[in-house]
C-alpha cells in the first residue's frame, strides 16, 4: 500500500509577493482567499509611523480591488474618513498593527461579504463630539476579534456599529488604557 501526500497550498516562500503601485513594500508571501494575491497598505504609501495621516493610502489599498488587504505591524493614523467597499474583500491586521482614530473621523467597511480580521482601534484624544469609530455595514460581512483601546474620555463615541443584513462581530473587546 502506497500513500500519496496532497498539498493544500504552496509554502509561504513560493507564494507570489504582494504588489501595489509603489512596488513590494508590504507583506511578501501573503496570499488572499483561494490563493489570490493581495496587497499591503504600505504598498500604497501608508507609513504606519503614528505621525503621518495614512487615510488616503489605506483608502487606495481598500479600493484597489485586491482580494486581500493587509496591515503590517505599525501605527496607522486615521485623520480623515476611510471607506472600504470592495465586495468579498478580506482585510487582515498583522500582530502589532494599530489604527489610531481621530475623534470625529471613522472607518466604514460597507462592501458586502467583507471579512475584517483582528482590527485594533485606538482613540487617544478626548472628545465630546458624537462619532462612530468603526462601522461594518455590508450585507453578510464579519468582523472578528476587534479590539478598541480608549485612552481618553469619549462619552459620545460609538466604537463599533453593525448595520445591514447578517452582519456579525465576534469577540469584540474594549480596553480602557487610562487617561
**CA distance to 40, 62, 94, 130, 161, per residue, from 72 (Å):** 7, 14, 5, 30, 25
The band of 44, judged by pLDDT with boundaries at 50, 70 and 90, is: very high
Q: What is the pLDDT of residue 39?
A: 92
Region 70-89: mean pLDDT is: 92
> Percent of the chain at pLDDT above 90?
36
Q: What is the pLDDT of residue 23?
A: 39
Res 33 pLDDT > 70: no
Encode pLDDT of 96-149 as tens digits: 999 998 877 888 989 899 999 999 998 877 766 777 888 898 899 999 999 888
Res 24 pLDDT > 70: no
Sequence-ordered list of residues with C-beta below 8 angstroms from that of 9, at least 6 positions apart, any chain: 31, 35
Encode pLDDT of 46-63 as tens digits: 999 999 999 999 999 999
Amino acid at each position: 500500500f502506497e500513500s500519496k501526500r496532497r498539498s493544500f497550498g504552496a509554502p509561504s516562500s513560493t507564494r507570489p509577493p504582494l504588489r501595489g503601485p509603489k512596488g513590494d513594500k508590504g507583506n511578501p508571501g501573503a496570499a488572499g482567499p483561494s490563493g489570490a494575491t493581495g496587497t499591503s497598505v504600505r504598498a500604497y504609501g501608508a507609513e504606519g509611523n503614528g505621525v503621518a495621516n495614512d487615510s488616503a493610502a489605506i483608502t487606495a489599498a481598500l479600493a484597489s480591488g485586491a482580494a486581500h488587504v493587509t496591515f503590517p505591524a505599525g501605527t496607522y493614523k486615521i485623520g480623515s474618513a476611510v471607506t472600504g467597499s470592495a465586495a468579498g474583500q478580506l482585510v487582515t491586521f498583522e500582530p502589532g498593527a494599530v489604527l489610531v482614530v481621530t475623534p470625529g473621523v471613522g472607518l466604514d467597511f460597507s462592501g458586502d461579504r467583507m471579512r475584517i480580521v483582528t482590527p485594533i482601534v485606538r482613540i487617544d484624544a478626548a472628545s465630546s463630539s458624537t462619532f462612530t469609530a468603526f462601522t461594518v455595514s455590508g450585507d453578510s460581512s464579519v468582523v472578528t476579534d476587534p479590539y478598541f483601546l480608549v485612552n481618553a474620555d469619549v462619552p459620545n463615541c460609538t466604537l463599533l456599529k453593525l448595520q445591514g443584513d447578517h452582519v456579525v462581530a465576534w469577540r469584540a473587546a474594549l480596553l480602557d488604557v487610562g487617561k
